A and B are shown apart, each in its own frame.
Chain A
Amino acid sequence: MSEENGAKTIDPNTMSIIVTKGSLDWAYPPYILGTTAAAMGLDVTMFFTFYGLTLLKKDLNLKVTPLGNAAMEMPMAGGHMVMPNIVGMIPGVDAMASKMMKNLIKKNGVASVDELRDLAVEADVRMIACQMTLELFDYKKEDLIDGIEIGGAATYIECATKSHINLFI
């Protein structure tokens, strides 16, 4: 980056994350990186849009699906069980896979998404819910946790121009 575009004035300890996915597996990367960056002294902003918006709902009921997830292998009996796409189409498989994943998470001492989100709120991570997505999917602000802002693309872009690290997840 050159000096002319103002890059020199950007605080290196700033990060923004666009959060676009809301399944159990995809909930982890943004919340892990957001909370860790905040713990390392960065100012963090998370912008929740489309399916990512569900990660701000008061009641989280996150699921994972093997459907369209060719790399999904669950550790089982010392080996790995692959989950062919056709399996994901069987009723009840998503619920089973979600339960298995949650058990694995617990067994391995990995934080729950609720826990990471609480830590993000506690660490003053700025969270912005996308106004358009709220309307599109008919959510109300009351459905979402307290302490978040509502904003649009321009709100995010303004934040991105001031952030040294900008991630899209």
Chain B
Amino acid sequence: MADKVLDAKGLNCPLPILKAKKALKDLEPSQILQVLSTDPGSVADFQAFCRTTGNKLLEHKEEGGVYDFLIEKV
């Protein structure tokens, strides 16, 4: 489903956001970036990031300590 996957597992604030921003740069509008993170702070941070930048947080879930975000590029 995702056009690109970013594995940010093991990275701490603010690296998942910074790397996601870079990854989004390579996508076309309405393409989808999947981000995998183990940083519990990234849940609130990706919501804030998407609200501010206009990118759409399609879904986020957690499984076994891994946070999984789907972001649609604006």
Q: B52 touching A109 by the CB < 8 A rule?
A: no
Query: What is the CB-to-nearest-CB distance from A81 to chain B, in angstroms, rounded to a whole number?
Result: 21
Residue-by-residue, is A18-43 near B (CB-CB < 8 Å gives 1, otherwise 0)? Answer: 00000000000000100110011100
> Nearest Cβ in chain A — how far from B35, in angstroms?
13
State whether A39 touches B15 (Cβ < 8 A): no
Q: How far is the CB of B8 from chain A (nearest CB, A)?
A: 9
Residues of B contacting A36 in the complex (Cβ-Cβ under 8 angstroms): 14, 17-18
Let me know if B2 is at the binding interface, CB within 8 A: no
Partner of A39, one of B11, B12, B18: B18
Residue contact A39 to B10, C-beta cutoff 8 Å = no
* Size bin of chain B's contact surface: 10 to 19
Known contacts A35-B18, A119-B18; is A40 also within 8 Å of B12 by CB?
A: no
Given contacts A35-B18, A111-B15, contact A40 B49 (CB under 8 A): yes
B13, A39: Cβ atoms closer than 8 Å: no
17-54 of chain B: CB within 8 A of chain A = 17-18, 20-21, 39, 49, 52-53
Task: Check A40–B53 contact: CB distance below 8 A.
Answer: yes
A15 to chain B, nearest CB (A): 12
Within A100-143, the residues touching B (CB, 8 Å) are: 108-111, 119
Closest to A12 in B: B52
A42 to chain B, nearest CB (A): 8
Q: Are B11 and A109 in contact (CB under 8 A)?
A: yes
The residue that B52 contacts in the complex, of A35, A41, A108, A111, with Cβ under 8 A, is A41
Q: Are A35 and B53 in contact (CB under 8 A)?
A: no
Distance to closest chain B CB from A26 (angstroms): 16
A39 to B18, CA, bound (A): 6
Q: A40-B52, A41-B53 are in contact. Are A110 and B17 (CB under 8 A)?
A: no
How far is it, in angstroms, between the C-alpha of A119 and the C-alpha of B20 when the chains are bound? 13
Report A62 CB to chain B, min CB distance, Å. 18
Can you report 6 A-B residue pairs in the complex whose CB atoms are below 8 A from each other? A35-B14, A36-B18, A39-B20, A41-B53, A109-B11, A119-B18
11 further contact pairs, Cβ within 8 A, besides A109-B11, A119-B18: A32-B13, A35-B14, A39-B17, A39-B20, A40-B49, A41-B53, A109-B10, A109-B15, A109-B39, A110-B15, A111-B11
What 6 A-B pairs come out closest when comparing CB atoms? A39-B21, A109-B12, A36-B14, A110-B12, A109-B11, A109-B10
